[in-house]
Amino acid sequence: MEDRDLDAIVATCRDPETIRWTTVPDPYQRDHAEGFKRDFAEAAWARGTGAYFTIADADDRYLGSVDLRVAAGDPLRGDVGFMTAPHARGRGYLPAALVALTTWGFTTLGLARVEWRALVGNTASRRVAEKAGFAFEGTARGALATRDGRGDTWVAALLAEDLT
């Protein structure tokens, strides 16, 4: 994540679909993006607890972002998250990035399991996870925070042995 990406991240976080399925601040401001970059993305890299990547096209135009966080209580498990810029949705960038990210997590970090979670109904996110090879495991009731409390959550996972 670079400073040059922040305006595109702000635009993505202001998109109605991003707002609908996440808990990003609404309205999302540039200082939110700057704080996320500094306090979460860069801090996680420094601690070795997470990796945040920007996805860009051949012209270095922001397409989205992916992240992999190592679970605090289990260093062999990771959690992924991602968001896609509205102009890049449905074009295959995110599944490809998610495959690269999870492969890196398994081969470089030695993870055994990587989990994806999304609020029930977020079919676009589910399609990305499934295209990246995640196996749907079920629904966890009240497992994710929402703007109105807690929501039921789809859960899927990818195991290291799934790469072969």
Q: What string of H, E and C letters represents the secondary structure of 27-45? A: CCCHHHHHHHHHHHHHHHH
| CA 64 – CA 71 distance, rounded (Å) | 23
> Which residue range(s) make up the domain with 52?
3-163
Per-residue pLDDT band for 163 (boundaries 50, 70, 90) equals confident
pLDDT tens, position by position, 90-99: 999 999 999 9
Tally the domains of the chain.
1
**CA angle (36 as vertex; 118, 140 as ends), nearest 5:** 20
Instruction: Indicate the pTM of the whole model.
Output: 0.91
Kindly list the distances between the CA atom of residue 42 and the CA atoms of 45, 54, 121, in Å, as whole numbers in the listed order.
Answer: 5, 13, 31
Amino acid type, 132: A
- CATH number of the domain enclosing 154: 3.40.630.30
pLDDT tens, position by position, 16-71: 999 999 999 999 999 999 999 999 899 998 998 999 999 999 999 999 999 999 99
Sign of the C-alpha dihedral computed for residues 81, 22, 6 and 131 taken in this order: positive
